[in-house]
A = this chain, B = another copy of it.
Amino acid sequence: MALSLGFIVERLGGALHGDAALQVRAIAPLERARADEISFLAHPKYAAQLAHTHAGCVIVGPEQAVAARARGACIVTERPYVYFARLTQLWKAEHRGPALRGIHPTAIVDPDAEIGDDVSIGPFCVVERGARIGAGTVLRAHVTVGEDCVLGRRCLLHAGVVIGADGFGFALDEDRHWIKIEQLGAVQIGDDVEIGANSCVDRGALSDTVIEDGVKLDNLVQIGHNVHIGAHSALAGCAGVAGSAKIGAHCTIGGGAVVLGHLTLADGVHISAASVVMRSILKPGQYSGIFPIDENASWERNAATLKQLHGLRERIKALERGLTAS
């Protein structure tokens, strides 16, 4: 269960400096790697760790090549972290063997669903009528794809994902009872989308919920009806996006963050974990809104004062007027 450095560069490219016959038995971070393991320098800021690592080989960028060669074998490549990612893919393919393909005998796939080539549908999946699943897409166990929902090619849906549950739509009647608005839209998911375990993407009310190519959703993420997520955006675990929000391309939404409904986020907007987006954000950049954690007693004092903050501002104004007057 080892790969030679020669095999690695033959498959993934990069310039090898060192013994092509050297076998590595695992991939490991610099600080823990041993002589029979390969490591990587993900970012130049960790360059100081190069001198101390025991790794048998290190994947580095051109600017670290001299230092890396001074200490032992290395593979030089423009983007070491991407190279590392591709190495994990090679590693998995070589060590775990090819993933099983095909439709598990326990899966329930409606005869009116369209299933592309080389699709894998895991145990206890349910694919309803009118659903379409693109070539190479993988559904792990217990995934549900509702009526008329569409998945692109090479998607990966982890266990427990629910695509196409009803959006949350009700009208209040004269007795203040909720009257269900049937959700007549579906879900459209592009190519190369990954969706984490137990996450949900609701069907649209009148038109469809849309997730564009290359989007990555972590576990326990909630996507409301008629949300639109632009290509190559990523949402971390427990994030929630309310109905009809429009998130641009190349955005990142941190874990536990909430995006309220009907908002627009421009391309390249980055929301910190646990922040709440209450207004549209039309300028790329990093945005945050998190109450700073503190020892409980300090927090209590500050939180109590926060409930008087507007009043404090008025008192500061008054002081400023007083000082001017005095």
Contact = CB atoms under 8 A, between A and B. Distances in A.
Interface string A79-101: 10110111011011001100000
Given A88-B181, A108-B106, A206-B29, A290 B285 contact: no
Interface residues of A, number: 126
A202 to B, nearest CB: 7
B242 A171 contact: no
A302 B306 contact: yes
Contacts of A320: 315, 319
Interface stretch (A13-21, A61-69, A267-275): A267-275
A123 B106 CA distance: 10
Nearest to A214: B177
Contacts of A319: 316, 319-320, 323
Interface string A289-322: 1111111101111111111111011011001101
Nearest to A108: B123
A289 B299 contact: yes
Contact of A323 (B184, B279, B286, B322): B322
B174 A79 contact: yes
B178 A234 contact: yes
B289 A290 contact: yes
Interface stretch (A3-11, A50-58, A112-120, A159-167): A159-167
A71 interface: no
Interface in A217-234: 218-220, 222, 224, 232, 234
Interface string A26-61: 111100100000000000000000000000000000
Contact of A126 (B123, B179, B309): B123
A43 to B, nearest CB: 11
A56 to B, nearest CB: 15
20 contacts: A85-B180, A89-B180, A124-B126, A140-B144, A142-B142, A158-B162, A160-B160, A166-B196, A168-B196, A178-B232, A218-B222, A220-B222, A224-B255, A238-B238, A240-B256, A258-B274, A286-B296, A289-B293, A315-B320, A323-B326
Interface of A: 26-29, 32, 78-79, 81-82, 84-86, 88-89, 91-92, 95-96, 106, 108, 122-124, 126, 140-142, 144, 146-147, 156, 158-160, 162, 165-166, 168-174, 176-184, 192, 194, 196-198, 200, 202, 205-207, 214, 216, 218-220, 222, 224, 232, 234, 236-238, 240, 242, 250, 255-256, 258, 260, 271-279, 281, 285-296, 298-310, 312-313, 315-316, 319-320, 322-323, 326
